[in-house]
Amino acid sequence: MNYKNKKVLVVGGGLSGMAAAKKLLLQGAEVFLTDRQPKDKLAGLKALEELGLDESHLVLEREPVIEEINPDLLVLSPGVSPQQTFVRQALAQGIPLWSEVELALRDSTAQIVGITGSNGKTTTASLCGELAKATGRKTVVAGNIGLALCGQVDHLTSQDIVVAELSSFQLELIDKVRINIAVILNLSPDHLDRHGTMENYIAAKARILENQTPEDLAILNWDDLKVRELASLTRARVVFFSSRERLEKGVFWDGEDITVGCHYQGAGSVKTNKKITDRKIVGSSELLLRGRHNLENAMAGVAVALELGLQEEQIAQVLRSFQPVEHRQEIVGKFNGILFINDSKGTNPESSIKALQSYNDPIVLIAGGKNKGLDMTDFLLEAKKRVKSLVLVGEAAPKMELLAKDIGLKRILRASSFEDGVSKAIAEAEPGDVVLLSPACTSWDMFKSYEVRGELFKELVRKHYSEPN
């Protein structure tokens, strides 16, 4: 699409907004940028001004007036709700509304692998990125994983691969983007403060399938009924994965090995006249990833890799060497016989339940932060079974404490700050225990991001054990 001399209002001055504005400026658009933050809080603004962003086109610390700008297009950053008044006014006037993902991928000729789901997106996107690189093709891994897609994909050709982690916020505003290999890992309540209902949330996630063709592939979790039912929404071929049932036309776990069903032949499978049987890819005991949820992530990765043309032994080699991503059940270290795990990316109850289920040793759990309007009951019931001490931090702590007491958790500690919470957790732990940071909440009450929260956790733990008592 030609953006030259088009008026484009970019909403949000974070990573996505800055990347979108840069792309548009480089393509000759007249860019307006709005954000609630003051100018000195917007990193990267100077670089945009050097590219020609006019200071008079900055609308900061207030909502823009659509009639004053008369934009041809609005590009929303993921953290910006489309329900804001000026956005709704723009829509009422027929002005197109895109996500940064739409702007980045709309005209891309690269093969696009899109990963979404309530949990496991970052791990699966990172794994699929490594598998894609093993094909020898140029690969970009970006999106919700922490690197905006704009500016990363413009140089790619039809021979190259984009692996995009896609959130519901990014997907709800796509228009014509076509995802060639779409993966939906799971669906559980998340971001209901933004989407309002579970139905709206699922509908946003399902848009990853919207523009697929029969030449494309949808990879879906058979074990999640909500995901399985989405198969009817795509025109693409569908492949399922399961950690509970044998699938002749999919990828499954047989209790020991990740296995490809006898009637599923990916592009990378060697064609043979021999009788086709189930094919073992790798033993689950060979993986560095822990937990059933990570088996599901790995199986989704296997299905992606087969579609990309990898041979089965190549897939196994990548799976054996792949390590957990930062802030997702990341091993901080073992100190005085206590294992410290950073799962700061556990920002909803379902994600943190899976983290709890990954460990058999007594757990000292640090939880809390800003709740996204989600029910914590199942999470705290799981904690009751596995946690010896629960340390609560942040805005959600008072309500979580009341619920935890009603459920019957015996040892609950409230922290005055995140630093105090880590200190209390260390004091509670004994040799053989696991200290697990898996908040089940976002970080936005105390931190800019879950990454900042996770980094502070690691820093505090290592500092404690490096200094003399």
Q: What is the pLDDT of residue 290?
A: 79
Q: What is the pLDDT of residue 270?
A: 53
Which domains does the chain show, CATH number per domain?
7-95 (3.40.50.720), 103-321 (3.40.1190.10), 330-466 (3.90.190.20)
Q: Are residues 33 and 75 in contact, defined by beta-carbon separation less than 8 angstroms?
A: no
- What count of other Cβ atoms lies within 10 Å of the Cβ of residue 198? 14
How many whole angstroms separate alpha carbon 219 and alpha carbon 250?
A: 9
Q: Are residues 191 and 172 in contact, defined by beta-carbon separation less than 8 angstroms?
A: no
Instruction: Give the strand order in the sheet containing 58-60.
Output: 58-60, 30-35, 7-11, 73-76, 97-99
* 236: region left, alpha or beta (phi > 0 left; psi from -120 to 50 alpha): beta
In SS3 terms, 82-121 reads as: CCCHHHHHHHHCCCCEEEHHHHHHCCCCCEEEEEECCCCH
- What count of other Cβ atoms lies within 10 Å of the Cβ of residue 381? 15
Q: Are residues 132 and 180 in contact, defined by beta-carbon separation less than 8 angstroms?
A: no
Q: Are residues 338 and 176 in contact, defined by beta-carbon separation less than 8 angstroms?
A: no
Q: Which two tokens stand for residue 450?
A: 């879950």
For the chain, list residues with pLDDT below 70: 190-195, 267-275, 467-469
Q: Which two tokens stand for residue 411?
A: 């040892």
Beta-strand ranges (E) seen in 295-345 are 330-335, 338-342
How many whole angstroms separate alpha carbon 208 and alpha carbon 212?
A: 8
Q: What is the pLDDT of residue 469?
A: 45
Q: What is the pLDDT of residue 43?
A: 83
Q: What is the pLDDT of residue 269?
A: 54
Q: Which two tokens stand for residue 270?
A: 């060697």
